[in-house]
Every structure is written in structure tokens, then in C-alpha cells.
Homo-oligomer: A and B are copies of this chain.
């Protein structure tokens, strides 16, 4: 039996009420071993409501990192649910860590508490977005590293390609660089230099892609910096919702059919983003996650840990890429 997935009971906009409920769903309905990390009093009160005391373990953490914490400040306390959760992964007492806490704080705590994989400069958050063609495209980085240097973006491409191999089951994923013109050399300084580096990597690099390619199934992996990637991810959600609202207002389609499309691109559709580049598995769930999303994030984390996604990255990080 594998180690449990550690779930941050304190993270997210809705607190232990939703995170504990999510862990209960993951355990009972998805059969995933979980352990809750957070203030034991609050967590046990929620477990009692579900009749799950004794069924799901609790690791006490005295403190909580507020959702407004951007990152660096969160690593100095060893008693928060974030630092305690990451420590469980480091000590291999948990197979993975799931949190709906502040992205910046989760990333900082994961870097410091779990550690980067050998050669990795910075981790990146990856999400698989469904495309209109029926497949999916991995978008990386969606918010772990908002000011990367070009060498980091080149590494994100390698991390994204490994992730696509695992989650999309594509043997040799195609990779596009998100930019503002399809010709090589178009883009901002960061992107132009990243494009030069990507051309020299052992990757099926297809050059620049643009904003309209994100859902078009143009490539298997789209790589960008964490600022642009996060804006784009949320813009996809907002744009799809806007389009469907307009169709609904026109009275042209049934509400149920529209909801089905909306769900594909809702924040809770993907469960959470995989934080890649560490020597342990971490999944960052949306801050607004409800119980079902937390449960799905547990399933993603469990699959990643089982799939050995961490060791796959190490194989791909060539000395040139890791420079």
C-alpha cells in the first residue's frame, strides 16, 4: 500500500469545511489513502461531521498561512499546514501534497521543504486543458514562477513534455512557445531568448504559437512564463464562460448543454495544477475549491506519485538544459 496523499486542511477560500469533505470523498469514493494536515481541533470537528474520525489520519499544524501571503514569508514558520505538509513528503511519509492555499506560498514552501529536482532552477505549474480537437494541451507555467529567466522557460518545456508523456500518453510531445507572432524572433526579450534555447534542446520544438492556439490542439505542450500562463488560464475560463452566457442569452441552446461545455473549462475541471520540478509531488488546487475539486486534486496527486513523474523529469534534464 502506497503512502497517503497529504491534504492541506487549512488552505483555500472555504477552509476545513470543504477540504475535509474533499478528503473524505477521495478516501471513500475514489479509494485514495489520504491524511489531513491542519489544526487538529478544527479538522477533527469536521471529520466528526462526516463520521470519519479514525478513518482518516490527522497531522497537527498549529498555524495557517493566509491566502494573501505571496510566498517568501511563508517559509519561515515550521508550524503551518504548508510547511508540515511539505515535510511529510520530504520524509516520504506522504506520497504527495495537495493544497488550495495561496499559490505563491505553496510554491515557496514546496521549494524549501521538499526541494528541487537535480538541475531544476525553478518549478513550474502544469495544467492539461482540453482542446476542441478532443485531445488536450499542457500549459506550463500557470503561475509558479512569475519572473523566470529564459533558461527556466527552456526547462519548463522539458518538464511539460514529461508531463504530457504521462498524462496525455503522447510518446514524443510537440512543444510550442507562447508568443505574439508565429515567426521566430517575434515576442518580448524573454520569449525571443527562450526560443533560441528551445531550438537547441532534445525536444520536438515547433516554434512560436499564439493565444488562439491554447485550445486549438495545435501542439501537445505550450510553454510560457508563470505570469502570462496564469493570465491565459484564467482568461480561457472567463472567455468560455462569456461565450456561453451570450449563447444562453440568445436562447439558442439549452442550459444543460451549455453547462456541460462550461464545466470543461471551469477552474474545478482539472482538480489542480501539478507543481513540477521538485523531488516530491505537489498539486496546487484553485483557492475557490469545493470538496469535489479537492477530491479530484487528491486523485491527480495520487496518479502523479504512482506514475513516477518526478523521476521522469530527472532523466530529461540534460546538462545543457540544467545549466
Q: Which residues of A contact B (CB under 8 A)?
A: 68, 70, 103-104, 131-132, 143, 146-147, 178-181, 183, 185-189, 191, 210-216, 224-228, 230-247, 250, 252-254, 257-258, 260-261, 264-265
Contact = CB atoms under 8 A, between A and B. Distances in A.
A215 B238 contact: yes
Task: Say whether chain A's binding surface is mostly helix, strand, loop, or mixed.
Answer: helix
Given A146-B187, A180-B234, 18 more contacts: A103-B181, A104-B186, A146-B189, A178-B231, A180-B227, A187-B227, A210-B234, A211-B230, A211-B232, A212-B234, A228-B228, A231-B232, A235-B236, A239-B265, A240-B240, A240-B243, A247-B247, A247-B261
B211 A233 contact: yes
Contact of A235 (B147, B211, B257): B211
28 contacts: A104-B181, A132-B241, A132-B245, A146-B187, A147-B188, A179-B227, A180-B226, A180-B231, A187-B227, A188-B225, A191-B227, A211-B231, A211-B235, A211-B237, A212-B237, A214-B235, A216-B242, A228-B231, A231-B232, A232-B235, A235-B236, A239-B240, A240-B240, A240-B242, A243-B261, A246-B264, A252-B254, A252-B258
A238 to B, nearest CB: 3
Contacts of A235: 211-212, 214, 232, 235-236, 239
Contacts of A254: 252
A214 B237 CA distance: 10
Nearest to A145: B188
A189 B146 CA distance: 8
